Structure 1
């Protein structure tokens, strides 16, 4: 799933959009069309608030390593990100998630922010090394106790808990046993899922298995600029396949246990197009589309890998693997940030392709990512037309901008407001076109530890002072509160 970069060699310089832990590139590194202002606000901003169905699920998303902190508390052991952050030069600002937003100790205040902002759902991830410190075996009751408290507080405030079982923080103990290169991890993950759901499933009814498996496989196992820092195409293939296998194995195990859960998973999806009208660039875009999008969608919904990569995945596929991966899901989470534009690049591990210039005039975020709400409509329409129109939640959508300092208790972020407003109008358009879109969860509730970028980048609708940990709602938070206000 080769996220931007020329797979190995050119792992620096291309802006990739993926979830709350995206590919990290600075604005100066990103390919931006001449004259395009960073974070430009579109001229034609719709004046009205988007009107969405009354049962539309509104919410916010976070991930455990990015916000929880308390990495040594109550029996938690190292994850691969704890170990990765200790390696010199791996994190742009030299920071780590040891404290992050201290959500582990401040979760009550953060849930109050959700309630005050009219959020109806909260997508959080559970930390595997908190719950099973060795990855398998003995359960750490204290770790589960934290999620008990979190869930109960959410329900007290009338907020639906929406849990994700894996957001990239593999226990280091399992990495030492091969991690996602070891096909036994499908069983390890299913056991972890059963333990966690066994404790929380009486109250948490919506469960995502994985967050962005392709992103984790590419950046963590091919480029090496995310944990666990592995490199190479064969490394990627194993990590991608075994995540797919774990996803299907866990869903089957949970379904065998109980029938009152909504089970799904989360993919980062983006439309890709050639950056020029050259036939070779069109072919490059098709290859990257297969690597980025259908490498996840085809096995889950159709039971096979994209033809262009089928031979690569045959090297790691055994027995009935594809049948185990192709399981019914109750929903699909879609993380959307923007489109990609490709050019042919022979010799690049990334599908012999790399990223080209953006269309003239396309606005970008502070990370150089293109801003194009119509791409979300195209992603959802593709799911409608090619994958059976599954029930979909936009589980991440948001933008990084260089916010001004807090002034008199306020953070003005008009670019983010415009970004969110335009993408919500895109949601309305997709629904009107028959897409089975059921909800929208913004990335992210809080400014947080942004993976290899450290604390340099801000996606939150709530500002966090990383020295004092004081939270200040931004104008984007107030905008969403108005959109989500009960009728």
Structure 2
């Protein structure tokens, strides 16, 4: 047993949930099969220069046809749970009708997971807004919250008897900032701070979704929010104010309404806050790195600075395990009893190692990332934070949004030309770690 394994062996106890995560548009492919109609990402990928290399999710990992192979990989890994996402445009395609073939695919997937002893943990929205919904105003229009709730009711009616733990939204902060504020993600709108309207509507959709899930008898509901520790470049008043604004936009705008029923930026009416602040059974945290904030620049009330002095993954993100401890302890201090138990719903990194001559993928950098972040997670638990599970991002190398197929986050290498799956060294390390908790 390696030193990193020995340090973590059994450290989280037998009731801790070990999992892996994926998302529908990033792995499924089959974008025009069995009644599915385009999402905003299908449309965005057709824009010249929008996605690196002109890549699309048209085939991705072909999970739609190869799900049984992927479930077998998860069974071999020994995970307790699999976080995936339902594709809204596969279930409710153009015209708003329910597509039974889309539901049938997820029937097959869920049944395969259960047969393998793996808990399905679906996310109801992981960025692939149906294009027809966007054409009607998308996340700018509050009617989208009602359309989302209608879709959620359909899915819950089909699966609530077999799925106990659900996630409403994935990273609404990124949909708002990257998709509608900066325009670097679908639907590609660069509308600056006006995009805060889309945060309001997504959070309202979350509240409506929770109501629909509760009506279907679901007893375990969470959300998956991207959070970042906000670091200041210095202690000047200008930088302190800039950091407070960034923290409000990235973190508090998406946590305060859910957990406290308040809005730090005043963009959500009180009546909607009452719907948004439905009680949650757990809270999902996606963590990758801290954010360093400088004084206002380029017509923004803050500037984003490089964090120096840390190793970086192939995306260029700094590897700061202690940031996870800082984040979780800070959330516990801020929200106190209002913070439900936490699940780490995403954590990982892009490391591009390819198979060697023997077919092995020696991705020691990913193993180091996993080990150090799990040590940091354990430190947060020791500080009193109630963390009950960890979902690694990701099971498979996949379509990495605007970066196309250049960035590889998977425990399993995917040769996109042949769709051959090769478990990496990190897959075997994670399997051994999970085994120490059995």
On whether the aligned pair clears a TM of 0.5, the verdict is yes
Residue of structure 2 in register with 1:340 after alignment: 291
CA distance in 1 between counterparts of 2:95 and 2:7 reads 49
State the number of aligned residues.
Answer: 432
CA distance in 2 between counterparts of 1:420 and 1:68 reads 25
Given candidates 335, 349, 361, the residue that maps to 1:399 is 349
Given candidates 360, 372, 389, the residue that maps to 1:410 is 360
When the two structures are superposed, what TM-score results if normalisation uses the length of structure 2? 0.95
CA distance in 1 between counterparts of 2:310 and 2:25 reads 33
| RMSD (Å), alpha carbons | 1.5
- CA contact 1:358–1:370 (8 Å) conserved in 2: yes
**Inter-CA distance 46–56: structure 2 relative to 1 (3 Å threshold):** closer
Does residue 193 (structure 1) correspond to residue 152 (structure 2)? The answer is yes
**Inter-CA distance 354–319: structure 2 relative to 1 (3 Å threshold):** closer
Cα deviation, residue 318, structure 1 = 4.5
State the 4+ residue runs in structure 1 displaced beyond 6 angstroms. Answer: none
Residue of structure 2 in register with 1:261 after alignment: 219
Cα deviation, residue 49, structure 1 = 2.9
Higher relative contact order (CA 8 A, sep 6+): 1
CA distance in 1 between counterparts of 2:194 and 2:166 reads 28
Does residue 331 (structure 1) correspond to residue 251 (structure 2)? The answer is no
Cα deviation, residue 347, structure 1 = 4.5
Residue of structure 1 in register with 2:167 after alignment: 208
- CA contact 2:18–2:80 (8 Å) conserved in 1: yes
Given candidates 247, 254, 263, the residue that maps to 1:289 is 247
CA distance in 1 between counterparts of 2:294 and 2:26 reads 33
Q: Where in structure 2 are there 5+ consecutive unaligned residues? A: none
CA distance in 1 between counterparts of 2:255 and 2:95 reads 28
Residue of structure 2 in register with 1:375 after alignment: 323
CA distance in 2 between counterparts of 1:347 and 1:88 reads 26
- CA contact 1:181–1:235 (8 Å) conserved in 2: no
Cα deviation, residue 133, structure 1 = 0.5
- CA contact 1:380–1:430 (8 Å) conserved in 2: yes
CA distance in 2 between counterparts of 1:230 and 1:406 reads 41
CA distance in 1 between counterparts of 2:5 and 2:412 reads 24
CA distance in 2 between counterparts of 1:357 and 1:453 reads 19
CA distance in 1 between counterparts of 2:433 and 2:35 reads 41
Structure holding more helix per residue: 2
Q: Where in structure 1 are there 5+ consecutive unaligned residues? A: 1-43
Cα deviation, residue 113, structure 1 = 0.4
Residue of structure 2 in register with 1:111 after alignment: 71
Given candidates 31, 36, 42, the residue that maps to 1:71 is 31
When the two structures are superposed, what TM-score results if normalisation uses the length of structure 1? 0.86
CA distance in 1 between counterparts of 2:23 and 2:306 reads 31
Cα deviation, residue 45, structure 1 = 6.3
CA distance in 1 between counterparts of 2:291 and 2:249 reads 13
